[in-house]
Amino acid sequence: MPETTGSETGFEEWYVTALNSGALMLMVSIGHRTGLFDAMNGIGWTGSVELADKSGLNERYVREWLGAMATGGIVKVDESDRYLLPNDHAMLLSRKSDDGNLAAFAQYIAVLGNVEDDIVNCFHNGGGVPYKKYLRFHEVMAEDSGMTVLEALDDHILPLVPGLNERLEEGIKVLDLGCGRGRALLKLAGLFPNSQFKGIDLSEEAIRWAQNEAERRKLHNIEFEVKDATDFDQTADPEAFDFVTTFDAIHDQAKPLSVLKGIYRTLKPDGVYLMQDIHSSGHVHTDTDHPLGPLLYTLSCMHCMSVSLANNGEGLGAMWGREKAKELLGKAGFDDLQIHRLDHDIQNDYYVMRK
């Protein structure tokens, strides 16, 4: 976000652009969910009737969506109102596989819009909005981490821990806390049949999805449990796991320090903890050049901070930052830590700690 945004001339023009962009992201989310970007990928110029027919959707809605896409510069339009999704746009916005794409991130805007009334109420009265109020959150989150975690897991994330691959091949016990739909763990369980995997999460809906998927893939080395980790410092099995992971799952905890202490407790001596969490300085004034600053502060206010406060938690917020993270990790017992950045993931830091 340019420094001039707040005060100098050009603000009005910037504001109109931002307003258009906000509206456009709602339509991008719809294009993703309805498969319209996929239907336009590689077909060349098309009219609204052909596109509606191809995608099995209502033509009147498709035509208006194309209007938003064309005026927003996502698709091209010619003089006969035919439309083209350029190849470089299709590369970013259509599905290559089951995993998402940049269009998937636009869904967060709609997910947050859905709880606006609850959040406004919190501005007046404090408190928070519980996880279960966020419709489609786990579905969208799993698409998000499908890109930031799943695709990079074996080639970029596991190699952050020297020797881990070999240990996984030999057979170790692994825990993923706040696993959501458990896609990272499901992938690992398939790759390393000699190791045992466990995923825990607060969400019954997400855990049910993960269990069904494990069954569908006929994986016998994985289990999922619905569990609230708020008092994990007391409830964690001592020295039970060789490797523990959390992907984007500490900052929105009600009691993050308790969870980190529990992770320390549940690691075997010499066990390793890998924490992926949001990259931030922890100070607004040094986050102004963060490429995702406004998005992350919005997600934090309208979700991460709020779900924690709803559970009588600390409400750390997504932008808690490295210094706070290091402070809490140190209090939990982790003083030997390394922080990595990975090229594919501008949103997160990767902390590697040995017990």
Ligand X SMILES: C[S@@+](CC[C@H](N)C(=O)[O-])C[C@H]1O[C@@H](n2cnc3c(N)ncnc32)[C@H](O)[C@@H]1O
**Which residues contribute to the site for ligand X (CB under 6 A)?**
131, 141-142, 145, 149, 178-180, 201-203, 206, 228-230, 247-249, 252-254
Q: Which residues contact 285 (CB under 8 A, 6 or more apart)?
A: none
Q: Which is nearer to ligand X, 85 or 263 (CB)?
A: 263
Strands (DSSP E) contained in 88-229 are 173-177, 196-201, 222-226
Tell me the closest approach of the beta carbon of residue 232 to ligand X, in angstroms. Answer: 8
Tell me the closest approach of the beta carbon of residue 253 to ligand X, in angstroms. Answer: 5
Q: Which is nearer to ligand X, 65 or 232 (CB)?
A: 232
Tell me the closest approach of the beta carbon of residue 179 to ligand X, in angstroms. Answer: 5
Look up residue 319 and give its amino acid.
M
83, 77 contact by CB (below 8 A): yes
Q: Which is nearer to ligand X, 51 or 249 (CB)?
A: 249
Q: Which is nearer to ligand X, 203 or 347 (CB)?
A: 203
What is the DSSP-derived secondary structure letter of residue 27? H
Q: Which is nearer to ligand X, 31 or 128 (CB)?
A: 128
Cα distances (Å, whole numbers) of residue 273 to 2, 32, 239, 248? 37, 35, 13, 13
Tell me the closest approach of the beta carbon of residue 107 to ligand X, in angstroms. Answer: 14
Tell me the closest approach of the beta carbon of residue 141 to ligand X, in angstroms. Answer: 5
Q: How many C-beta atoms lie closer than 10 Å to residue 119's C-beta?
A: 17
Q: Which is nearer to ligand X, 83 or 224 (CB)?
A: 224
Tokens found for residue 314:
């600390």
Beta bridge partners of 31: none
Tell me the closest approach of the beta carbon of residue 112 to ligand X, in angstroms. Answer: 13
Give the residue from 294, 301, 335 showing the smallest Cα distance to 316: 301
Tell me the closest approach of the beta carbon of residue 247 to ligand X, in angstroms. Answer: 4
Give the residue from 64, 59, 83, 79 showing the smallest Cα distance to 23: 64
Beta bridge partners of 83: 46, 77
194, 170 contact by CB (below 8 A): yes
Q: Which is nearer to ligand X, 201 or 349 (CB)?
A: 201
DSSP letters for 103-145: HHHTHHHHHHHTTHHHHHHHHHH-----GGGSTTHHHHHHHHH
